[in-house]
Amino acid sequence: MITENNLTSSEQLSYHKDGYVVRKNIFSKTEVIEINVALERAVSKALLLSKTGDVYHLDGKRFVDLDYLTVQFEPGRDSETIRVIEPAHQLDKDLKELIADPRLVGPIQDIIGMKSISLWTDKLNLKRPKEGSGFGWHQDSPYWVHNSENVDLLPNVYLSLDDATLENGCFKVIRGSHKKGCLPGTDDGTQLGGFYTDPKAFDETSEVSLEISAGSLVFFNPHIIHGSEPNLTNTQRRAYIITYQPGGLPTLKSGEVKNIKIR
């Protein structure tokens, strides 16, 4: 039975051709407010937990690991502003419930091509006003290819939790770049350089800036090159990104199997 949560034939065509598809204004303003409340609860908990974790620095960025939780801070060895939390769903029950929302799960089932799906990973990307740094061009698949035998079947959904603009560092993609599979990383001598895509391997003129409103979704391929600019505004630019996989498979960090119960 086809429902409004299924991808249309044109959406499926766009996803396979371009590597992404956008669905605008899927969550209401009230729902977005509630999700952001849950997000900030998770951030507060992560900040508290980070006081007792294992601290390390890569290219001037501070990371803290606690069990299978990783908290990444904005650049600066003593920064207390969180940039990324992965995974995040275990920090708040409302985020955990959101992962099974049919508006997220339905299109993912169509992309993977099966009803039974499970969680691979999820993360909160925080771009605080005037502090939120950018993300260089990269693919997700090179991070995951050594941990998953199904790297082609790890689609992402990006939930925009604030209006995203060029000025506050909206999500950007290189249209069609997913067709090349895993591409080589840079070799610039930095610790994290290998995780950023070699600029000689793609055409930056195919860049698409996704200026979307809060409550909108972007479904994107694990191989597509994506990134963003810093947040130069006085407004937030927060997002929740969830990555799924076929059912019955272990998650990236904890190794637990977290099958999605379809609502």
Q: What is the mean pLDDT of residues 57-72?
A: 94
Q: Is the separation of the CB atoms in 170 and 209 below 8 Å?
A: yes
* Angle formed at CA 122 by CA 47 and CA 213, multiple of 5 degrees: 90
Question: What is the Rg, in whole angstroms, of the alpha carbon atoms belonging to the chain?
Answer: 17
Q: Spell out the domains of the chain, with CATH numbers in brackets.
A: 9-246 (2.60.120.620)
Of all residues in the chain, what percent carry a pLDDT higher than 70? Answer: 98
Q: What is the mean pLDDT of residues 243-263?
A: 95
Q: What is the mean pLDDT of residues 7-26?
A: 97
| DSSP structure string for 153-173 | G--EEEEE-S---TTTT-EEE
pLDDT tens-digit readout, 209-240: 999 999 999 999 999 999 999 999 999 999 99
Peptide bond into 87 cis (omega under 30): yes
Residue whose structure tokens are 């997913």: 178
Q: Which two tokens stand for residue 97?
A: 């419930």
Pairwise CA distance, residues 206 & 226, whole Å: 11
Element at 32 (helix H, strand E): helix 29-49
Pairwise CA distance, residues 102 & 109, whole Å: 10
Q: What is the mean pLDDT of residues 143-154?
A: 95
Q: What is the mean pLDDT of residues 138-163?
A: 97
